[in-house]
Amino acid sequence: MPKYIDIHSHINFKAFDEDRNTVLHRTLNDDIWVINVGTQIDTSKKAVEMTNEFKEGVFATIGLHPIHTSASHHDKNELGDEGKEFTSRGEIFDKEKYRELIKQGKVVGIGECGLDYFHMDEESIEKQRKAFIEQIELANESNLPLMLHIRNNPKDKTRNAYFDVYELLKKYSKVKGVSHFFAGSIEDMKRFIEIGILVSFAGPITFPPKIEICDYESVIRETPLDMILADTDSPYVAPVPHRGKRNEPVYVKEIVKKIAEIKGLPELDVVEAIVLNAKKLFDI
Ligand SMILES: [Zn+2]
């Protein structure tokens, strides 16, 4: 059993093209396992291929990120210079293609999928909902947990992506899952726990508090230890003391340490609990 599991990383992205295997070896040598997360068909395929290059400790989830359901901002870290045409078109979720991918490697979940209201209009939100529901259906039929991406628009308090995801899950989902990079309220967290959705915290919990964005300390204090996970979302948003650098899975230790500190529990207890939660949810 590893000491840590980073349940959400993107070592499949272009940002790691130069040193992907070095990063993964560093991760595994540090007794850390990693789940690489697909965001559209190409990054999902890449994540699955990578699981076959390592005997253990490297897993994949496959799915269509809500921002890739429409024309979206092009991120060089994710797709490099190529693929511009592809991202500007947006991808329609093709269940059959993803179903095929499940058989090709150690696929432990579906996503990242969900709702992203950060810079989206009505039309794209409708596309996001449709793609999300289809991914919930794929998760149901393959009995795999959901890797959820949920983001609010701080300028529009009239809608809450966490609540909308909760309602869709209640209506359609038969599986468990995790809300990665959680930045919701205590109420959002409690609703998720009730329906078997774990919450995973990322780099921002180590930053100086910005309560208007998320009151991480209160949310973490209230979240039961058996429902907490930790993720880096590498290459993005590295935790303190690595803030500003390219993120990578070994930094998950800083996030787990901070969770223990906030909860006022011995670090080792939290380390063990979180790894058990991850093993149980993803059946690894
Ligand atoms: Zn991600």
* Residues constituting the chain: 284
Residue 179 is encoded by which pair of tokens?
Answer: 């809300």
User: For the chain, what are the domain ranges?
Assistant: 4-282
Q: Residue 89: what pLDDT? A: 62
Between the CA of 37 and the centroid of ligand 1 the distance, in Å, is 6
pLDDT at 119 over 80: no
What the block records as the tokens of 238 is 């590295």
The pLDDT-based confidence of 81 (bands split at 50, 70, 90) is low
Cα 43 to middle of ligand 1, angstroms: 11
Position 85 scores a pLDDT of: 46
How far apart are the CA of 233 and the centre of ligand 1, in A?
Answer: 5
Mean pLDDT of 147-167: 95
Q: How far is the CA of 258 from the centre of ligand 1 (A)?
A: 20
Residue 9 CA to ligand 1 centre (angstroms) = 6
Distance CA(219)–CA(187), nearest Å, equals 9
Round to whole Å and give the CA distance between 250 and 255. 10
- Mean pLDDT, to the nearest integer, of 83-96? 72
Cα-to-centroid distance, 268 and ligand 1 (Å):
27
Work out the pLDDT band at 74, boundaries 50, 70, 90. low
Contacts with 173 (C-beta within 8 Å, 6 or more apart), sequence order: 136, 139, 140, 146, 195
Per-residue pLDDT, 159: 94
Describe the chain by its helix, strand, coil percentages, rounded to 5: 45, 15, 40
231 CA to middle of ligand 1, Å?
9
When pLDDT is cut at 50, 70 and 90, the band that residue 195 belongs to is very high
pLDDT (0 to 100) of residue 273 = 98
Fold classification of 4-282 is TIM Barrel (3.20.20)
Query: What's the order of all strands across the beta sheet hosting 32-37?
Result: 4-9, 32-37, 58-62, 107-116, 146-151, 177-179, 197-201, 228-230
Q: Which residue has the tokens 């979206």?
A: 72
pLDDT tens, position by position, 202-246: 999 999 998 888 999 999 999 999 999 999 999 999 999 999 999
CA of 132 to the centre of ligand 1 (A): 15
- Flag whether pLDDT at 121 surpasses 90: no
Nearest to 226 by CA among 176, 265, 275, 284: 275
Whether 84 shows a pLDDT value over 60: the answer reads no
pLDDT tens for each residue of 245-274: 999 999 999 999 999 999 999 999 999 999
For 13-61, what is each residue's pLDDT tens digit? 999 999 999 999 999 999 999 999 999 999 999 999 999 999 999 999 9
At 170 the pLDDT is 98
Ligand 1 centroid to residue 273 C-alpha, Å: 23
**What is the chain's mean pLDDT, rounded?**
94
